[in-house]
């Protein structure tokens, strides 16, 4: 697999004026780790942050697609996940410190709140700013109207290796399936599918022995910053190039409680 082996070192490039970069995000620590890396390299940007999608809509879609038993198992795993976060607090803080990750909004960063990235308000802001590139980090699916509201390419950071681990929890599923060589991150163009746009960069990552479901995404973000910066720079230079892939394509979701426990005891992947 032709995975990028990029240096994680961030080259700071001061700018005299804001670069035409807009970030669409749902917010949260993982998103801000990526966003702050972009700010640290390219200078001032504009962030458009949407409100979280109501859980009832998410579960309604999953019920139709996955069925009641699987969704019940995912909800049960969500309860366990809260305990995992609590037990992983010190481990996560150590990772944040060691990798110099910045999980909170940068001081002075312009953040425009919208109800949804698919709202008219969001499209109006994109048209007003006229960005050269739109970086997407942790949002709901982006509709056609938003994707075509400006001529800039939309590029997405995904915590998994596409197309083999599209959707949710890509790093976890690679390990859970006994496929550690595809534990990694992807930056890709955005289309109307689930992580199906053209691949720009891959980054293979090696998890630490004490990593778990909570820390996997942060481990990926630490290394994934490098390929995000490379892709943004390519877009600003109008030199985006996609990579062909022969990997199988599959969409993944959150594990069920029983699936997570079975994999943990069988493979030691927690």
pLDDT in tens, 34-75: 999 999 999 989 999 999 888 888 888 899 999 999 999 999
Helical spans, DSSP H, in the chain: 29-42, 55-66, 68-87, 89-98, 120-129, 144-147, 170-176, 216-236, 257-267
pLDDT tens per residue, range 167-223: 999 999 999 999 999 999 999 999 999 999 999 999 999 999 999 999 999 999 999
Domain ranges of the chain: 21-267
Average pLDDT over the chain, rounded to an integer: 92
Say which residues have a Cβ less than 8 Å from residue 167's Cβ, sequence separation at least 6: 160, 194, 195, 251, 252, 253
**Integer Cα distance of 96 and 235 in angstroms:** 28
Task: Please answer whether residues 179 and 56 qualify as being in contact, where contact means their C-beta atoms are separated by less than 8 angstroms.
Answer: no
pLDDT of 96 over the 60 cut: yes
pLDDT of 125 over the 60 cut: yes
**Integer Cα distance of 255 and 22 in angstroms:** 32
Q: What is the pLDDT of residue 19?
A: 66
For 21-267, which CATH class? alpha beta
pLDDT of 11 over the 50 cut: no
């Amino acid at each position: 697999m032709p995975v990028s082996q990029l240096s994680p070192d961030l080259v700071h490039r001061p700018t005299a004026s804001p670069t035409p970069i807009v970030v669409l995000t749902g917010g949260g620590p993982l998103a801000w780790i990526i966003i702050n890396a972009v700010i640290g390299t390219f200078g001032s940007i504009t962030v458009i942050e949407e409100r979280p999608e109501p859980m009832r809509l998410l579960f309604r879609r999953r019920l139709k697609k996955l069925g009641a038993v699987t969704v019940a198992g995912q909800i049960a795993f969500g309860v366990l996940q809260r305990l995992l976060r609590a037990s992983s607090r010190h481990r996560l803080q150590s990772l944040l410190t060691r990798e110099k990750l910045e999980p909170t909004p940068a001081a002075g960063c312009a953040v425009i709140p919208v109800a949804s990235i698919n709202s008219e308000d969001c499209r109006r802001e994109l048209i007003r700013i006229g960005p050269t590139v739109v970086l997407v980090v942790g949002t709901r699916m982006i509709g056609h109207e938003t994707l075509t509201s400006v001529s800039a390419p939309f590029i997405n950071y995904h915590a998994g290796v596409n197309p083999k681990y599209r959707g949710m929890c890509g790093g976890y599923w690679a390990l859970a399936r006994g496929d550690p060589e595809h534990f990694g991150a992807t930056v890709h163009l955005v289309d109307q599918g689930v992580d199906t746009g053209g691949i720009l960069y891959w980054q293979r990552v090696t998890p630490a022995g004490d990593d778990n479901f909570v820390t996997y995404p942060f481990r990926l973000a630490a290394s994934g910053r490098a390929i995000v910066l490379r892709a943004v720079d390519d877009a600003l230079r109008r030199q985006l190039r996609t990579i062909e892939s022969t990997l199988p394509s599959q969409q993944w979701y959150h594990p069920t409680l029983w699936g997570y426990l079975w994999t943990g005891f069988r493979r030691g992947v927690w």
